[in-house]
């Protein structure tokens, strides 16, 4: 029995050492970028709270993260946060710093509890972003807030174009909710959406649904790789066909695409 106990203790010690080694590099969801960059993360709170990111080594070269200790040193309170990755250092932030990615994490006040990997905004090289804030371009309106399957449409191709495979249903009075549309069927391998253009009722009571309201606000209209996300508030009972328009990246020629999805609002 003593031998088995010793083996268990040794196994536990090894597991703890491995976990500690994993944490030594970074606890924040990593940014995958160009090697040998100087990067920092700016958190979406007042005061421009920011911290430097460290590049991994070995098989983690080109991956950038921060430890819990580095984040805690900023005195960031517990909460759920989005953050943007910039080229530069946290101690010398500037309005012209190139924006290269956006991510999301849940912070306890001392440790990272959960998060989503950082979405990279495509770069030409280590210092030039294709659509960057210094060149006057618009960054991709990324929204990484999770959406349940019950509020997600998956598109299929038909003779009438792209449509949702199944309608989604909602009760009146539920308030404003974020919905998602999965466009993978209309994208090339590794292709992605880069903008959400519009949403409009094609059939159903006029004004029976409200969208957004701000198409420029990523919390109302956004994209997350192959998903388009929009905020919908049901106003009137009925069955609604919604037409959405998005822009695709140039992996398969780019351009605008449209799809129709159905939402059923009941009492």
In the chain, ranges of CATH 2.60.40.10 domains: 149-266
pLDDT at 17 over 70: no
* Tens-place pLDDT, residues 106-128: 999 999 988 766 665 544 344 43
- The residue with greater pLDDT, 227 or 9, is 227
**Mean pLDDT, range 86-99, rounded to an integer:** 87
- The residue with greater pLDDT, 78 or 47, is 78
pLDDT at 20 over 50: no
Write the DSSP assignment of 202-216 as a string of letters: EESSTTSEEE-S-TT
| Secondary structure of residue 184 in the 3-state scheme | helix
Least confident of 23-37, 45-59, 100-114: 23-37
Cα 3 → chain centroid: 49
- The residue with greater pLDDT, 140 or 22, is 140
Name the percent of the chain lying above pLDDT 70.
81
* Tens-place pLDDT, residues 210-221: 998 887 788 889
Q: What is the reported pLDDT for 225?
A: 84
Give the domain 149-266 fold: Immunoglobulin-like (2.60.40)
Q: What is the reported pLDDT for 31?
A: 85
Q: With bands split at pLDDT 50, 70 and 90, how would you rate the model's confidence at 1?
A: very low
| Residue 204 near residue 240, CB atoms below 8 Å | yes
**Mean pLDDT, range 133-137, rounded to an integer:** 31
Q: Report strand pairing: 31-32 vs 39-43.
A: unpaired
Starting at the edge strand found earlier in the chain, the sheet holding 63-65 runs 31-32, 63-65, 54-55
Q: With bands split at pLDDT 50, 70 and 90, how would you rate the model's confidence at 32?
A: confident
């Amino acid at each position: 029995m003593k031998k088995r106990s010793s083996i268990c203790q040794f196994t536990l010690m090894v597991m703890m050492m491995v976990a500690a080694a994993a944490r030594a590099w970074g606890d924040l969801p990593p940014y995958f970028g160009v090697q040998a960059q100087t990067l920092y993360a700016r958190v979406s709170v007042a005061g421009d709270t920011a911290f430097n990111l460290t590049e991994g080594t070995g098989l983690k070269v080109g991956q950038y993260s921060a430890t819990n200790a580095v984040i805690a040193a900023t005195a960031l309170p517990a909460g759920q946060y989005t953050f943007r990755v910039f080229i530069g250092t946290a101690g010398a932030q500037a309005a012209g710093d190139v924006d290269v990615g956006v991510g999301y994490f849940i912070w306890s006040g001392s440790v990272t509890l959960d998060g989503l990997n950082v979405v990279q905004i495509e770069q030409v090289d280590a210092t030039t972003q294709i659509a960057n804030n210094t060149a006057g371009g618009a960054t991709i309106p990324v929204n990484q807030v999770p959406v349940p399957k019950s509020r997600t449409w998956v598109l299929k191709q038909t003779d009438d174009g792209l449509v949702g495979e199944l309608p989604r249903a909602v009760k009146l009075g539920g308030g404003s909710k974020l919905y998602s549309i999965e466009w993978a069927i209309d994208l090339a391998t590794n292709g992605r959406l880069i903008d959400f253009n519009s949403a409009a009722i094609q059939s159903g009571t006029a004004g029976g649904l409200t969208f957004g309201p701000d198409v420029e606000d990523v919390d109302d209209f956004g994209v997350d790789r192959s998903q388009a996300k929009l905020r919908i508030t049901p106003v009137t009972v009925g069955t609604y066909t919604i037409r959405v328009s998005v822009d695709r990246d140039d992996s398969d020629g780019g351009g605008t695409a449209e799809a129709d999805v159905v939402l059923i609002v009941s009492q």
